[in-house]
Chain A
């Protein structure tokens, strides 16, 4: 219990007085407040209402700069440059045609464009994205900017904005990865989850990395609120809501490897991929011919766009590394080997005789150059790239089990479906199967049903097979990493502007395929012999190379008199490979002729061997 002093059953007169004083004080204060309210709201309300109506603000939107994109070493690949834009807001334009024409005529000398052109320009943009603002001039000067701000009465509906334009300091290097930024469409805005906080007129990633990592790269727009009086004269800045820059994205890309890769292809049509075989981190991924993405920073002209998409120019916009639909030539033999070994058609040491040709019914299949390799087992068959050896496997695999063994292994190892890389618009390719061809035949889209010959062709990567370098890289990686199908990815982590990590992406989930270790080792042995022993298909290319490589050449025939497509897929450093490199050149001829020397340069860059980066060592092997 508490002491008696704390017991006060009845209220003392002194306390009563003091409570009365407190209450009285409150009463007085309420009185004062009510009188003041009465005075402000009832007696002078009209005056204040007029004042309030005279208060007007105009909001000048300030684009938030998007986050930078840097490579694994912090080299800036994409950043921003500030620009001023003069825009037209449809909701504030004069409604009638006449005054709109007058407006464009007044605007014409300011931006230095004929007024008809402005009108046409605005109309096209508003048609594309209705109710948004149309950009009249994207890179306006300070003088133009101020003029528009100060002549609002004559230029109703015309407005200024501070914007940021994407800048690609290395121009064509990595151009296919970054993608473009554009105004959010009304269709996209319906996706509330993805475009949370985005409003009409905001610019968001529309393709490539900019699209995949948009939610991180996107900043938060700011606004300058300027006060104007009832006549529209500028009275000062009320408040500035500063834009918040988007986060920085660090890619696993290695800039120098990427640069050398593109230099090696040198504008020829082709693509390359360098990937970490364990994690799927992409160190380089490029397509050739390339383009300068800086032209997309502004509204691109139709003529430029047509040039970038024309087939005659080699469709520079398409990313052949993930969108190419190619036969892979002998590089496919890795998959045929796995299928044959796992299904028990051969053991690593089963000998076969290669006379230089293979007869299947009325058809005869030949080795390249029609030369025979004699009796050999799997390792040597890979080393010299004996077609006959694999023709036989293809024919036998067509009769094993349900006749889909080869197709099913191709799919298990990553062909025929997208790899799941963090880039949009990836193609899934095609693994030809009996059902596929029979269906086409039924629809009369092809002249014949499936036959064993199709499987023979598939076994050496010819015919109807469609795959891209990235898929092949994944397949090769799985043999070298113990059977994991990795998911290739470019995004490594999200950082603040000082490069401190905010979120690491880590290794995406991998799928495991079960291939017996001794089979994997036999294949790797063959690949190593091909690149290192005399007679190996790429041995002369890698003869003096300081890093040990295991790899396979490929030469895909495309028929119709078109040049052969050159392929090379290598694993390095042997015997404990960490990277896979896949290169293809659409018109490169034999694998050892173009793709293998390109791969050699890329590997030199990857391992930091400066002296070899630009050295072209062509191989003499004329195998497929």
Chain B
């Protein structure tokens, strides 16, 4: 930008929106979807958990509200930030991500247990969640460097390896769900950046081979890559069981819960599957089952349409971004949300394996809610920047 004498041309065209107006420059529909899902989450968690802890009915809902409040605040802050600067820090961001995951390992080793989080006085921070955002920021940066060499096999290989390193680390924690999210993010970034179809074909083949080895060949040879319960969970949806202590049984209970909701649901009071603890983890991984049981088909459709709205706006932001970096960020964030949404909802419906992936924004959990809102903040930032650029070039209007 040229620093002219006195006023610039831009100042004539745009009467500079004050800080109060900046909020309005966010995508209103995306904001609506975000607030809608957060509201639905808080209400559902309240109805699902108000009898869980005797004498403390607001335990979960208070915490979730606090996480959401802080997350929304951060989202508004980030939305006004020029994300392009993050590209310069890609190496630092990537290193931070790997380091935070390794620290969890070190702490877990010290306590001799499996651990996914670092404990702070009021909050257990889960680095594998924040890692999702950091990975998107870093990988997108690396990809922009190599835009002219997208058809190089080396580019694809490097990006996949950069994603596999943290993925393997978190799978070993053991947090299979986050690991799969990392791999999905890498694939989505390559896809948006324009990697050749042949590369995807090879990646697909390698992926299938890996699954076969992990689930079939390696156990046969006596090497157990995944823990027993992980394998059991992954395969449970194919063959639900009747043993109450079994993962497949819990899946059955989830399906029963959703089915029993019928058209308009059984209401928070009549939802016996939720209230009697038939649905395991009813405030975290299986919160969609609670929605299904308490509010029926109507409730599910409402929540899903909020997600659809969110995805539609996300795709639109992807196409209007002022630069490739923004498009890649939008693509990665969308892929992350879509993957978790479809895998989580699919799991509660019995059409996807149980992988321990939370439903973004809906599931109880500070790290997940905060990180998802941070991601949406970045998405809004891409939108705000695109808009400012468009305005400064005389295309489009502010409102």
Q: Which residues of A contact B (CB under 8 A)?
A: 2, 5-9, 11, 14-16, 18-19, 21-23, 25-26, 29-30, 32-34, 36-38, 40-42, 44-49, 51-53, 55-57, 196-199, 221, 225, 227, 235-239
Known: A5-B144, A37-B300, A41-B296. A48 touches B258 (CB 8 A): yes
Known: A8-B323, A22-B334, A33-B345. A55 touches B315 (CB 8 A): no
Known: A37-B292, A41-B296. A18 touches B277 (CB 8 A): no
10 residue pairs from A and B, CB less than 8 Å apart: A8-B321, A8-B323, A26-B311, A29-B338, A38-B297, A52-B257, A52-B260, A52-B272, A227-B244, A238-B244
What secondary structure prevails in chain B residues at the interface with A? helix
Kindly state whether residue B318 has any CB partner on chain A within 8 Å. yes
Kindly state whether residue B325 has any CB partner on chain A within 8 Å. yes
Known: A196-B55, A199-B54. A235 touches B263 (CB 8 A): no
Shortest CB-to-CB span from B316 to chain A, Å, is: 9
Shortest CB-to-CB span from B152 to chain A, Å, is: 15
CA distance A400 to B194 in the complex (A): 104
Name the CB-closest residue of B to A7: B323
A49 near B259 (CB under 8 angstroms)?
A: yes
Shortest CB-to-CB span from B222 to chain A, Å, is: 32
Known: A2-B323, A26-B311, A57-B278. A37 touches B144 (CB 8 A): no
CA distance A133 to B256 in the complex (A): 33
CA distance A221 to B258 in the complex (A): 31
- Nearest 4 pairs of A and B residues by beta carbon: A48-B259, A45-B262, A52-B260, A197-B55
CA distance A239 to B255 in the complex (A): 19
Known: A7-B323, A51-B256. A45 touches B55 (CB 8 A): no
CB contact between A41 and one of B263, B318, B322 (< 8 Å): that residue: B263
Kindly state whether residue B346 has any CB partner on chain A within 8 Å. yes
Name the CB-closest residue of B to A239: B277
Shortest CB-to-CB span from B276 to chain A, Å, is: 5
CA distance A42 to B301 in the complex (A): 13
Enumerate chain B residues within 8 angstroms of A8, measured Cβ to Cβ.
321, 323-324, 327
CA distance A21 to B308 in the complex (A): 15
Known: A37-B349, A40-B255, A225-B277. A45 touches B194 (CB 8 A): no
Shortest CB-to-CB span from B345 to chain A, Å, is: 6
- Which residue, A40, A49, A197, A221, has most C-beta atoms of chain B within 10 A? A40
Name the CB-closest residue of A to B253: A55
Known: A36-B349, A45-B262, A55-B272. A26 touches B323 (CB 8 A): no
CA distance A358 to B357 in the complex (A): 93
Kindly state whether residue B351 has any CB partner on chain A within 8 Å. yes
Name the CB-closest residue of B to A16: B319
Enumerate chain B residues within 8 angstroms of A227, measured Cβ to Cβ.
244
Enumerate chain A residues within 8 angstroms of B166, measured Cβ to Cβ.
none
CA distance A15 to B195 in the complex (A): 11
B55 near A53 (CB under 8 angstroms)?
A: no
Name the CB-closest residue of B to A241: B277
User: Mask for B177-197, Cβ within 8 A of A = 1, else 0?
Assistant: 000000000001001101000
Name the CB-closest residue of A to B324: A8
Shortest CB-to-CB span from B171 to chain A, Å, is: 24
B272 near A53 (CB under 8 angstroms)?
A: yes
CA distance A237 to B245 in the complex (A): 8
Known: A55-B256, A227-B244, A238-B277. A22 touches B331 (CB 8 A): yes
CA distance A11 to B54 in the complex (A): 56
Shortest CB-to-CB span from A181 to chain B, Å, is: 19
CA distance A551 to B60 in the complex (A): 61
Known: A15-B327, A42-B263, A55-B256. A33 touches B192 (CB 8 A): no
Q: State which residues 185-233 of B face A: CB under 8 Å.
A: 188, 191-192, 194
CA distance A349 to B84 in the complex (A): 92
Q: State which residues 243-279 of B face A: CB under 8 Å.
A: 243-245, 253, 255-263, 266, 272-273, 276-278
Kindly state whether residue B87 has any CB partner on chain A within 8 Å. yes
Shortest CB-to-CB span from B313 to chain A, Å, is: 12
Given contacts A22-B335, A49-B259, 10 further A-B contacts (CB under 8 A): A6-B87, A8-B327, A19-B318, A25-B338, A40-B259, A52-B260, A53-B272, A55-B278, A198-B55, A238-B277
CA distance A8 to B259 in the complex (A): 48
Enumerate chain B residues within 8 angstroms of A196, measured Cβ to Cβ.
55-56
A37 near B258 (CB under 8 angstroms)?
A: yes
Shortest CB-to-CB span from B173 to chain A, Å, is: 25
Enumerate chain A residues within 8 angstroms of B351, measured Cβ to Cβ.
32, 36
CA distance A7 to B55 in the complex (A): 58
B276 near A55 (CB under 8 angstroms)?
A: yes
CB contact between A23 and one of B192, B315, B323 (< 8 Å): that residue: B315
Name the CB-closest residue of B to A14: B194
CA distance A543 to B88 in the complex (A): 88
Kindly state whether residue B147 has any CB partner on chain A within 8 Å. yes
Kindly state whether residue B148 has any CB partner on chain A within 8 Å. yes
Kindly state whether residue B304 has any CB partner on chain A within 8 Å. yes
Enumerate chain A residues within 8 angstroms of B244, measured Cβ to Cβ.
227, 235-238
Enumerate chain A residues within 8 angstroms of B300, measured Cβ to Cβ.
37, 41
A41 near B277 (CB under 8 angstroms)?
A: no
CA distance A18 to B150 in the complex (A): 15
Enumerate chain B residues within 8 angstroms of A198, measured Cβ to Cβ.
55
Shortest CB-to-CB span from A89 to chain B, Å, is: 16
A5 near B338 (CB under 8 angstroms)?
A: no
Q: State which residues 290-347 of B face A: CB under 8 Å.
A: 292-293, 296-297, 300-301, 304, 308, 311-312, 315, 318-325, 327, 331, 334-335, 338, 342, 345-346
Enumerate chain B residues within 8 angstroms of A40, measured Cβ to Cβ.
255, 258-259, 292, 349
CA distance A37 to B346 in the complex (A): 10
Enumerate chain B residues within 8 angstroms of A55, measured Cβ to Cβ.
253, 256, 272-273, 276, 278
CB contact between A49 and one of B55, B260, B323, B325 (< 8 Å): that residue: B260
Known: A40-B258, A53-B272. A5 touches B263 (CB 8 A): no
User: Mask for B136-173, Cβ within 8 A of A = 1, else 0?
Assistant: 00000000100110000000000000000000000000
B297 near A42 (CB under 8 angstroms)?
A: yes
A51 near B260 (CB under 8 angstroms)?
A: yes
B319 near A15 (CB under 8 angstroms)?
A: yes
CB contact between B304 and one of A30, A44, A197 (< 8 Å): that residue: A30
CA distance A57 to B244 in the complex (A): 12
CA distance A221 to B54 in the complex (A): 10
Enumerate chain A residues within 8 angstroms of B318, measured Cβ to Cβ.
19
B273 near A52 (CB under 8 angstroms)?
A: yes
Enumerate chain A residues within 8 angstroms of B253, measured Cβ to Cβ.
55
CA distance A106 to B315 in the complex (A): 70
B308 near A26 (CB under 8 angstroms)?
A: yes
CA distance A198 to B55 in the complex (A): 7
A34 near B324 (CB under 8 angstroms)?
A: no
Name the CB-closest residue of A to B339: A29
A15 near B194 (CB under 8 angstroms)?
A: yes
CA distance A52 to B270 in the complex (A): 11
CA distance A225 to B272 in the complex (A): 14
CA distance A38 to B349 in the complex (A): 11
CA distance A22 to B156 in the complex (A): 19
Shortest CB-to-CB span from B195 to chain A, Å, is: 10
Enumerate chain B residues within 8 angstroms of A239, measured Cβ to Cβ.
277, 280
